[in-house]
Amino acid sequence: MRNALKFTSVLATAGIALSLAACGSNGDSTSSSDANAPLTVVASPTPHGQILKYVKDNLADKAGLKLTIKEVTDYVTPNTAVQDGSADANYFQHVPYLEDFNKKHGTQIVSVETVHLEPLGLYSKKAKAIGDIKDGATIGLPNDATNEGRALKLLADNNLITLKDGVGTAATPADVTGNPKNLKWKELEAAQLPRSIEDLDAAVINGNYAIDAGLKPTSDSLILEKAEGNPYANILAVKQGKENDPRVKKLAELLHSPEVKKYIDDTFKGAVIPAF
Determine the Cα–Cα distance for residues 65 and 248; give it in Å rounded to an integer: 9
The answer on 113 and 13 residing in a single domain is yes
For the chain, percent of residues with pLDDT exceeding 90: 75
Determine the Cα–Cα distance for residues 76 and 15; give it in Å rounded to an integer: 11
The answer on 14 and 107 residing in a single domain is yes
Local confidence band at 146 (pLDDT 50, 70, 90 cut-offs): confident
The answer on 46 and 18 residing in a single domain is yes
pLDDT for res 64:
97
The answer on 243 and 107 residing in a single domain is yes
pLDDT for res 31:
60
The answer on 112 and 96 residing in a single domain is yes
The answer on 219 and 241 residing in a single domain is no
- pLDDT of 21 > 70? The answer is no
Residue 213 belongs to some domain of the structure: yes
Tens digits of per-residue pLDDT, 191-222? Answer: 999 999 999 999 999 888 898 899 999 899 99
pLDDT for res 20:
56
Determine the Cα–Cα distance for residues 206 and 121; give it in Å rounded to an integer: 7
The answer on 114 and 13 residing in a single domain is yes
The answer on 240 and 107 residing in a single domain is yes
pLDDT for res 236:
98
CATH code at position 254:
3.40.190.10
- pLDDT of 15 > 50? The answer is no
Chosen domain end from 189, 209, 224:
224
Domain count, the chain: 2
Write out the residue range of the structural domain in which residue 95 sits. Answer: 9-119+230-274
The answer on 203 and 145 residing in a single domain is yes
The answer on 236 and 108 residing in a single domain is yes
Please, are residues 207 and 118 in contact by the beta-carbon 8 Å criterion? yes
For the chain, percent of residues with pLDDT exceeding 70: 88
| AA letter at 74 | D
Residue 2 belongs to some domain of the structure: no
Tens digits of per-residue pLDDT, 239-270? Answer: 999 999 999 999 999 999 999 999 999 999 88
DSSP state of 143: -
Residue 248 CB-half CA count within 13 A = 27
Q: Which residues are bridge partners to 89 per DSSP?
A: 41, 238
The answer on 20 and 112 residing in a single domain is yes
Determine the Cα–Cα distance for residues 203 and 40; give it in Å rounded to an integer: 33
User: Please, which residues have CB within 8 angstroms of residue 95's CB and are 6 or more apart in sequence?
Assistant: 111, 231, 232, 233, 235
Chosen domain end from 184, 205, 224:
224
pLDDT greater at residue 159 or residue 118: 159
Residue 90 belongs to some domain of the structure: yes
Determine the Cα–Cα distance for residues 258 and 269; give it in Å rounded to an integer: 16
Tens digits of per-residue pLDDT, 99-113? Answer: 999 999 999 999 999
Residue 4 belongs to some domain of the structure: no
Residue 259 CB-half CA count within 13 A = 13
Using DSSP, state whether 232 is helix, strand or coil: coil
The answer on 142 and 16 residing in a single domain is no
Please, are residues 205 and 147 in contact by the beta-carbon 8 Å criterion? no
Residue 205 belongs to some domain of the structure: yes
Residue 178 belongs to some domain of the structure: yes
When the pLDDT of each residue in the chain is averaged and rounded to a whole number, the result is 88
Peptide bond into 142 cis (omega under 30): no
How many Å separate Cα 196 from the centre of its chain? 18
Residue 3 belongs to some domain of the structure: no
Local confidence band at 8 (pLDDT 50, 70, 90 cut-offs): very low
Residue 249 belongs to some domain of the structure: yes
Torsion (CA) 111, 67, 17, 195 in degrees, nearest 10:
70
